[in-house]
Every structure is written in structure tokens, then in C-alpha cells.
Amino acid sequence: MPIISSPQQFNVDDLYVDLGPVIDRPLYLKCEGFNFAGSVKLKAAAEMVEAAERDGLLTPDSIIVESSSGNLGIALSIIAADRGHRFICVTDPRCNPASMRVMRALGAEVRVITRKDANGGYLDSRIRYVRELCDGPGPHVWLNQYANPNNWMAHYRGTAPAIDRWFPDLDVLFVGAGTTGTLMGCARYFREHGRPVTIVAVDAVGSVTFGGIPERRMVPGLGTSSRPELVDESFIDDVVHVPESDTIRAVHRLAARGFLFGGSTGTVVSGAARWLAERYPGGSPVAVAIAPDLGERYLDSIYDEGWLGDNFAGLLGELGLPSADALGV
């Protein structure tokens, strides 16, 4: 019987879903959402906070500040509450309302930045606000998930070895690209341990992480409007860019089989399925994809008919969902 005294001590690290019957491709999905944060971000949050405390950057009087579109903000809210720190999450209008409510329930302060940056996103504006806050009065400490090596180290030490234990003959690993912490930690692990694993990064169309053209993105999670400092393409073998319409198709396809996953997971699954169809038609490689999140916090967006009607109306009929008019709203 597991007994814990701290929320980050609980994480289901060895749960995989065989997606072969769902997507008709050989793919195992590593589920990272079964913890108190509901996402893979709990690992990075714990590693960054613990390192900052060890190095003396965080003291009992410090106020943690971080830019997040949702999942890391929730993870840091949990860690901060457990360790007695104040926490300010700087986010933007794309953050799911449910995620904001969770952070506030955990005692965090949420500040929403509405000014867009030069790429049409909010990341540069959020970071500018964080810098201004830390340069001003008060004991604010920015962990900086976009450049903090402890972000990727959490996955170098934990996520990648866990995959390696269960899949010693792994051929392909698909990892979503946000801050690229999970991606770089896993890629560095397999490269430095001499494992011939093809590392495929999965990014959103409209993200600039790998040199893409900036476009409007409505689904929070993967993708950036400013290239993260952590990314090192020399460790990555290929990149797949997924349109948000395909992300939505993927999560609804999974939900139709009883698997309610989040938007980041839908992007990764869609990209992995397309890549496998193109590179291994009829083949059976040993392939794993990392599912960063679960779907409950997306009930107001990618699973909501009204939100879909406002942003992706053309998908309603395809998904078998009623329009807002049909619902009488």
C-alpha cells in the first residue's frame, strides 16, 4: 500500500496504452498524466524547485514566478503549496479556464497577459512581464522553464530510463515539443547511452520552435511563438508539424474508444500516426509516444461544441457533433 507525505511522490510511471487497435499503427502510448498535477510537467516542476532550493536561489521568503500556458503552472502550484512558497503564474487567454481555477484553488496567483508578441502569440509578452516583475521590488524568482537545464534533466533521469527498461528494443520515440524539456531529456539520454533510437519531435503548425511560420494557435500546450533556449536539433532525427484540426480529430478518436486525453497528447498521437504511416507502411517498428496530459482540463475547449463551433466549425459535422444552432445556444 503506497503512503505518501508529499504530492510529487505519487506518479504512475509505467502505464502504457497499446494504440494499435485505435489508430491501426504500432504505437504504445506512455501515459504521464496520472499524478496530482495531471501531466508530465510535475517531474520538471519538482526538479527545478528542488535545484533552486539546493542552490540557495529559493528561500522561505521567495516568490516563484513562471510563464506557463497551464500544465507547468498547475505543477508548480502543487509544489509551491507543498513546500510553503508563494507562486505567481503568468499566462495568457489561451490557458484553459479549468487550469486557471485549479491553480487558484491551490493558492497560486494567476496573471493573464493579453498583449500579443511580434509572432502573433503571447510567449514573448509573458516573458517580458516576468522579467519586469523580477527586476522590480520583491523577492521574485523566475525558474525559467525555457532555459533551465533541470527541466530536461528531470526526463533524462526519470522518463527516458523508464521507457528504456520496458522497451529495450525501442526503434522510434515520439515526443511533443513545448519548452522541449521532455524532448531534450529523452533525446540526450538515448544518444548518450548509445541507443539507436530514432527521436521524432512533434510540434504544432504555427509554432516557431523548429523554424516554422508563426500562425494562430488555439490549443494550449505544444508549440511556441519564441524558440526555447533548451532545444538542440543535433539530438533530434525528425520533426512532424501537426495542424490543430488533426489534434482535435485525434483526441475525439481516442475519446470514442474511452481514452480522454488532452490536446498535447492528441498532437503527439496524430503526428506519430502520420509519421509511421509514411515511414513504415505495413511495418511493425517498436514505437512509443509520450502522452503529456489528460483531457479533463480541455472540457471547455477541444471537447466543447460551442468552443469548436467558434474556432473549428468545419469539424463539427465530421466529428458527429451538433452545431451551436442545433443546441439552441
Range with the poorest average pLDDT among 67-71, 192-196, 232-236, 266-270: 67-71
Instruction: Name the pLDDT band for 261 (thresholds 50, 70, 90).
Output: very high
> 10 Å Cβ neighbour count for 239?
18
Nearest residue to 269 via CA among 28, 43, 14: 28
For all residues of the chain together, what is the average pLDDT? 93
- pLDDT for 326: 54
Separation CA 31–CA 294 (nearest Å): 8
CA 177 to centroid of chain Cα atoms:
8
Average pLDDT over residues 11-37: 95
Give tens-digit pLDDT for 100-123.
999 999 999 999 999 988 878 888
> Crossing angle for the helix pair 71-83 and 97-105, nearest 10 degrees?
0
Angle at CA of residue 64, ends 144 and 155, nearest 5°: 45
Average pLDDT over residues 248-270: 97
Q: Catalogue all structural domains in the chain, each as residue range(s) with its CATH number.
A: 7-34+149-298 (3.40.50.1100), 41-142 (3.40.50.1100)
**Maximum C-alpha span of the chain:** 61
- pLDDT for 325: 57
Q: Which region, left, alpha or beta, applies to residue 63 given φ > 0 means left and ψ of -120 to 50 means alpha?
A: beta
